[in-house]
Amino acid sequence: MKIKESCICLTLTTLYAANPVHAADDRIHINGFGSIVAATTFDDEKPYFLYDDDLNFKNESLLGLQVRGDMGDNLSATAQIIARGSEDHNAEFEWAYVTYAIDNTWTAKVGRFRTPFFEYSDTIDVGYAYHWVRPPQSVYVPLFNNLDGLNVTYASQIREFDSTLNFFYGSVREDIPIGQVDLKFVYGGSWRIGIDWISMRFSYFRSKLSIPAIVPGLDTILPPDGPGAPPPGPTVSEEAADAIRANDDRGTFGSVSLKVEYDNFFAVAEVTKSEIEDSIFPDPLGYYLSVGYTIDKFTPHITYEVFDTSPKREILDEVPESDPVYTTLEGMIESTHQDNKVITVGVRYDFHHSASLKFDFSKLNYDEDGPNRINTKIFSTAISFVF
């Protein structure tokens, strides 16, 4: 559902006229957040994701509003609306779910909610919640962000340890720039356990999914998948196409994270692995380590991240070398080899009790030269706030 930005502004004005924190009825709780992000590579020939030598304020800027209504008897409803600069500031309902607190340990929610895959899944859009301008892209590059389904949480203590188990089941149908992601089902869970200043988190899910071609031009060498005009040139066989397409194939995802917060020192590390069977998807492994230290209102930090891929060169066994598309397919498979490393140094300045100013400088280096593998640098800054 799309809502024009002017409607959001009118809604915010009305809500704040009633009460800057809560609406007239204390059962309605309203929270807001946002980030104004600007970034540039200073080099038009060395782009980084959506950035080039122009200083861009639009791509990652956003404004969000979360509304929670307490209906009594342990039942509540939550909705979250976000207007993103990358979507021309049109606003969209991203979350909408009902929560029921069964008792002091069990909680269930049903509707559309954030996929609980990562350490910062629930707060990924709330830039004020973390020290970077953006979380490490080697890990935080999911094909989808939300799912429709059921989530059950069990919070308890195991001796001196705090434990939270999270189970979920649902489906996903989400449009992304390269097409539509369709998960007929997805199920899994996560477990967070911690004590005092250290915690660990584990997550895992499985699904049956279909995703669009991740390699530009790949559709031009695949036979039609259903009604439609065939590609203008030669194509691979149906057997090879089945080994390339991610169409009703099994997907898995796993992650492990470690978080340390001791006095003014903190460290966070996260490892993720994604796999899609019988497809050209290169099954990436991503991980990072970030450390920092808070000095009064300033938090300097440094992050090292790695992104490793496994190109599915075995697909070429399905295509004879004499086939006219062999060389083209070989080049496309090779283009999925995107192994790289990124080092980011930055500082966060908490100039206000509800806002922070951040500066990050990142250097990206690929392990090998090749198409779409350009070593580059990016400077990013952001003002992140909550209200």
Model-level pTM?
0.89
pLDDT confidence of residue 145 = 85
Tens of pLDDT, residue by residue over 320-360, are 999 999 999 999 999 999 999 999 999 999 999 999 999 99
Of 99, 92, 153, nearest to 125 by C-alpha is: 92
Dmax of the chain from CA atoms? 74
Give the integer Cα–Cα distance in Å for 218 and 145.
25
Is the pLDDT at 31 greater than 60, yes or no? yes
- For position 14, what pLDDT does the model report? 35
pLDDT value of residue 228:
66
The pLDDT, as a whole number, for residue 6 is 35
Q: Tokens standing for 164?
A: 């939270």
Position 45 scores a pLDDT of: 86
The neighbour count for residue 178, using CB atoms within 10 Å, is 13
Buried/exposed code over 299-308 (b: 16+ C-beta within 10 A; e: otherwise): bebebbbbbb
- Average pLDDT of the residues of the chain: 90
Residue burial 80-109, b: 16+ Cβ < 10 Å; e: rest? bbbbbbeeebebeebbbbebeeeeeeebeb
List the domains of the chain with CATH numbers: 2-386 (2.40.160.10)
Collapsing DSSP to helix, strand or coil, 198 comes out as strand
Phi-psi domain of 158 (left: phi exceeds 0; alpha: psi -120 through 50; beta: other): beta
174 phi and psi angles, rounded to 5 deg: -140, 135
Would you say 85 and 64 are in contact if contact means Cβ atoms under 8 Å apart?
Answer: no
| CA gap 85, 363 in Å, rounded | 25
Q: Give yes or no for residue 250 having a pLDDT over 50.
A: yes
Question: In this predicted structure, what is the pLDDT of residue 18?
Answer: 38
Query: pLDDT at residue 371 above 90?
Result: no
Q: Is 90 helix (H, G, I), strand (E, B) or coil?
A: coil
Report yes or no: 184 and 171 within 8 Å, Cβ to Cβ. Answer: yes
pLDDT at 1 over 80: no
How far is Cα 209 from Cα 213, in angstroms, rounded to an integer?
13
Q: How would DSSP label each residue in 155-197?
A: EEEETTEEEEEEEEEEEEEEEETTEEEEEEEEEEEEEEEEETT
pLDDT higher than threshold 60 for residue 240:
yes
The percentage of residues in the chain with a pLDDT greater than 90, rounded to a whole number, is 79
Per residue in 299-308, pLDDT (tens digit) is 999 999 999 9
Give mean pLDDT, residues 124-135.
97
Is residue 115 within 8 A of residue 102, CB to CB? The reply is no
pLDDT at 362: 97
Tens of pLDDT, residue by residue over 252-298, are 999 999 999 999 999 999 999 999 999 999 999 999 999 999 999 99
pLDDT at 90 exceeding the cut of 90: yes
